[in-house]
Structure 1
Amino acid sequence: MGRANDVVMARPGRGLGLRPQLSDEVAARIRELIMTGRVRPGEFLRLERLALDFGISVTPVREALQSLRSEGFVLLEPRRGFVVAPLGRQDVQDLFWAQAAIAAELAARAAARIAEPALRGLAGHQRALEDALAAGRPGAAEEHNHGFHREVNLAAGSPKLAWTLGSLARYVPRGRYGRLPDWPALAVRDHRLIMASLRAADAGEAGERMRAHIVRAGELMVAGMERQGWWREA
């Protein structure tokens, strides 16, 4: 894909307000633009245009792009500016492989120490997730999916490991899973199995079920990106 054309972005419905972590919010918005395919590898990200679109000054945009550069989302080309970095099929598969490995360890640790209140919290998120799917509200379903996994990760009692997992999960913005046609059935089936393993305090089974769940989610994500034409053969 050529790099000559600047990114032309739709103006959001409202600007971003002034907040202490504004550059983090801007980075999240740009990360979402990249991972949803609204800006593609090889496209330049112009500071002034992004600032105008977000309704903010250039400074937090520059800070956000520097942060995304350290994460590998963008590159800085001398005298030309920031450009969206390549993101190959293997890159996405590797991200989910790493997530699966860490999430499996967290689930195994959670199984050894999870308490009844956390199990009730998991069940509540799962009921709400299934209700949201039945009502055709994928956004709400994703929020409860996030809550389900957060409950497992907190129960593990390993905050540094959970933080590492969260850093990897940023590559998949909220709202992405809900657009995958096979994700609802996956979430319902796998979450029920994971809950059963946690309730039985079976660390090995909980870890393996979580690993398989994340791997399958990654396969759905790659298939969805392929349908979007991310890796069209030249």
Structure 2
Amino acid sequence: MTTTTARMARRPQLSEEIADLVGNQIMAGDLRPGTFIRLDETATTLGVSVTPVREALLTLKGEGLVDLVPRRGYSVSPLSRQDIEDIFWIQLTLARRLISRAFENFDDTDRAELNRLVEDFAEAASSGTTASVVQAQHRIYRTVNLAANSDKLVRILATVSRYIPVHVYAADPEWCAEQTALNRDLAAAATENDAEKGLRSFEAQFTDACARLIEHLESAGVWDES
């Protein structure tokens, strides 16, 4: 059993873990539209029973990532460039509100913490693992979200963020370098209490991420027959 499957086997929310894993594979183009996802094969690969896999696929069906084909099972739903653009448009729209509120609430402790986390990200980006890069960026966003003090909005954003295959970015040295610079822009904006500058940093992050994911999916041949 691999480290990933061993970790899955002992986590309580197993179906959610599987939904995240399969959803990321779909959004990264590893599982292409029209591909059938077999319950038994997936369960065997992950070292789990069929039940949490079925529950995970039901979750993904609700998110529009898979379709249930009668008497055949689950297949990956169509995914267009417009879908990707829409996902990032929603993210950016929500993030604008959150960053504005966060800047209203930031105190000196928050600003110092944000600066520290940005440098932690830079270190992870230059010498860490993909997982450490993902975690470091998550901590930065979490700090902003906590300062915004908008629980329901953060929860909605978290739901939308499930569509983003974060490992694709974390494994890309060019993205890591660009994100390091944008994170530092955000920290500088917080230090200067410049909300407009902070908004520009977030807008640049999401615009760049959208373009990179579309390019990645094009390179993977997801739309070759479109």
The amino acid of 1:221's aligned partner reads L
Which among 180, 189, 195 is matched to residue 203 of structure 1?
Answer: 195
String of CA shifts for 1:181-215, please: whole Å, max 9, x gaps: 53123212211222222223333332233123212
Q: 1:178 to 1:81 in 2, by over 3 A?
A: same
Which residue matches 1:174? 166
The amino acid of 2:184's aligned partner reads R
String of CA shifts for 1:56-94, please: whole Å, max 9, x gaps: 221111111101000011001111111110111111111
1:41 positional shift: 0.8
Which residue matches 2:60? 68
Which among 71, 96, 101 is matched to residue 88 of structure 2?
Answer: 96
Question: Relative to total residues, which structure has the larger helix share, 1 or 2?
Answer: 2
Q: Give 5+ residue unaligned stretches, structure 2.
A: none
2:180 matched to 1:188?
A: yes
Which residue matches 1:131? 123
Q: How many residue pairs end up in the alignment?
A: 224
Instruction: Indicate conservation of the 8 Å contact 1:104/1:208, yes or no.
Output: no
Q: TM-score, normalised by structure 1?
A: 0.87
Q: 1:134 to 1:20 in 2, by over 3 A?
A: closer
Instruction: State how far apart, in whole Å, the 2-side matches of 1:56 and 1:139 are.
Output: 22
Instruction: State how far apart, in whole Å, the 2-side matches of 1:143 and 1:117 are.
Output: 21
Instruction: Indicate conservation of the 8 Å contact 2:18/2:52, yes or no.
Output: yes
2:94 matched to 1:81?
A: no
Instruction: Indicate conservation of the 8 Å contact 1:180/1:224, yes or no.
Output: no
Which residue matches 2:35? 43
SS in 2 for 1:72: coil
Instruction: State how far apart, in whole Å, the 1-side matches of 2:56 and 2:122 are.
Output: 36
Which among 132, 135, 151 is matched to residue 143 of structure 1?
Answer: 135
Which residue matches 1:160? 152
Between 129-138 and 108-117, report the one with greater CA deviation.
129-138
Between 207-216 and 120-129, report the one with greater CA deviation.
207-216
Q: 1:134 to 1:128 in 2, by over 3 A?
A: same
Q: 1:181 to 1:131 in 2, by over 3 A?
A: closer
Between 66-75 and 14-23, report the one with greater CA deviation.
14-23
Q: 1:22 to 1:201 in 2, by over 3 A?
A: same
1:132 positional shift: 2.3
1:139 positional shift: 3.6
The amino acid of 1:40's aligned partner reads R
Which residue matches 1:7? none
1:135 positional shift: 2.5
Instruction: Indicate conservation of the 8 Å contact 1:47/1:62, yes or no.
Output: yes
RMSD across aligned positions (CA) = 1.9
String of CA shifts for 1:82-109, please: whole Å, max 9, x gaps: 1110111111111111111111211111
Which residue matches 1:230? 222
User: What pairs up with 1:98-117 in 2 under 5 angstroms?
Assistant: 98-117=90-109
Which residue matches 1:5? none
Which residue matches 2:17? 25
Instruction: Indicate conservation of the 8 Å contact 1:122/1:151, yes or no.
Output: yes
Instruction: State how far apart, in whole Å, the 1-side matches of 2:58 and 2:156 are.
Output: 20
Q: TM-score, normalised by structure 2?
A: 0.90
1:128 positional shift: 1.4
Q: 1:18 to 1:139 in 2, by over 3 A?
A: closer
Which residue matches 2:49? 57
1:37 positional shift: 2.3
Instruction: Indicate conservation of the 8 Å contact 1:110/1:155, yes or no.
Output: yes
Instruction: State how far apart, in whole Å, the 1-side matches of 2:215 and 2:29 are.
Output: 14
Instruction: Indicate conservation of the 8 Å contact 1:177/1:183, yes or no.
Output: yes
SS in 2 for 1:182: helix
